[in-house]
A and B are shown apart, each in its own frame.
Chain A
Amino acid sequence: QQPVQSPQAVILREGEDAVINCSSSKALYSVHWYRQKHGEAPVFLMILLKGGEQKGHEKISASFNEKKQQSSLYLTASQLSYSGTYFCGTEGWGGADGLTFGKGTHLIIQP
């Protein structure tokens, strides 16, 4: 089932912080985060694994609550270049069915 992202959209001033949430109804093995700018392909940001391992971006952090099957992406001191649509992709146990992506969160950073 498709994970639910919140908020659907957010507008910030440059330098402000943002949190994007991703919630799933199924047990998760990993959560992936991607950013997509208008007219471009999604670009990898981060992977979080059950057990706490992470791999990802220097200036973006994330958390993974395995019990609640939730992940949050933290964008601190946002820059204009952070604007875009953020997608979480979830992978269930077994990993044999690919990623299921949420509908996305639109982030607009204003100067």
Chain B
Amino acid sequence: DAEITQSPRHKITETGRQVTLACHQTWNHNNMFWYRQDLGHGLRLIHYSYGVHDTNKGEVSDGYSVSRSNTEDLPLTLESAASSQTSVYFCASSEGPEQSPYNEQFFGPGTRLTVL
């Protein structure tokens, strides 16, 4: 069955370290998204991609980067982790094109990141 996976599921790191969170989907979806979820804020969009080599900044992109070298993967990198980036991170994917009216998003299981 097609799916979307994230790894690791839990990560503890130190301030200043570079961290990469993996997201892999097997639906062959064009669109992929990264969100962070914090108490009281809901889901906030970090970065998104509408296809290979396409990346776009979301609402809370500072301190994060992504690259899309193939359809299946959109890794999220924290260049220099900060305590404010402690959060639960969700990856999601949806069919393209980006303006399709039936763009339901399928979410991965999430990664809980703690920055000490």
Q: Does A43 contact B (CB under 8 A)?
A: yes
Residues of chain A with a CB closer than 8 A to B33's CB: 98-99
List the A residue with the shortest CB-CB distance to B44. A101
Flag the segment in A10-18, A47-55, A68-76 that touches B: A47-55
Q: Measured between alpha carbons, how far is A47 from B101 in the docked complex, in Å?
A: 8
A47 contacts B104, C-beta separation under 8 Å: yes
Interface residue SS majority, chain B: loop
Known: A41-B90, A49-B101. A101 touches B109 (CB 8 A): no
On chain A, which size bracket covers the interface?
A: 20 to 34
Number of chain B residues close to chain A: CB under 8 A? 25
Q: Does A42 contact B (CB under 8 A)?
A: yes
Q: Which of B16-44 contact A (CB under 8 A)?
A: 33, 35, 40-44
CB pairs A–B below 8 angstroms (23 shown)? A30-B101, A30-B103, A32-B105, A41-B108, A42-B107, A44-B104, A47-B101, A53-B101, A55-B102, A91-B103, A95-B98, A95-B99, A95-B103, A96-B99, A98-B56, A98-B58, A100-B59, A101-B35, A101-B43, A101-B45, A103-B40, A103-B41, A104-B42
